[in-house]
Homo-oligomer: A and B are copies of this chain.
Amino acid sequence: MQSNSTTAYQQHDHHRCLKAALAQARQRCAERKARLTPIRESVLHLLWQSHRPLGAYKIIEQLSAASGKRVLPPTVYRALDFLLELGLIHRLATLNAYIGCPFPDSVHSDYFLLCRECGSVAECSAENVNDAIVATAEEAGFLVEKQTVEILGLCTPCQEKTRK
């Protein structure tokens, strides 16, 4: 099982997360001969400000604020599409929001732990979950192509805070 749940929910040197993500992005783009343009990098950068997902229009706002000029939806959606395509970010269907992928390299049928209290999201790749899903789908004769697994709940720190 692969997961960034410890870093996502705890105090940590987030600068390292950001740096690692950008490095991986650059490498991946080089491999695929894709261009990590300034806009695309800015969007990725924004998504890695924290482990909290960001809606497309929040990105538009922040990008507009940062650049001083009005950024329009297609600009951001195009960047998001590009990053999604490369597996550098994910879209969270239950939140209509986007988040950076902490391990774009591993081929993942991944799932997400969304803390309803602090808003942070961790990503996991757990084989047993994947196996269970594929096995059960198979029982129904269903061919699995893409999984969307989003778990809402409380992360460890927020459980402790709530208990008080």
Contacts and interface: CB of A to CB of B under 8 A. Distances in A.
A113 interface: yes
Given A5-B141, A113-B140, A148 B150 contact: yes
Is the contact region of chain A dominated by helix, strand, or loop, or is it mixed?
mixed
B124 A5 contact: no
Contacts of A153: 137, 142-146
A149 interface: yes
Contact of A149 (B124, B133, B155): B133
10 contacts: A5-B141, A94-B148, A116-B145, A124-B136, A128-B135, A131-B132, A140-B156, A141-B159, A144-B152, A148-B148
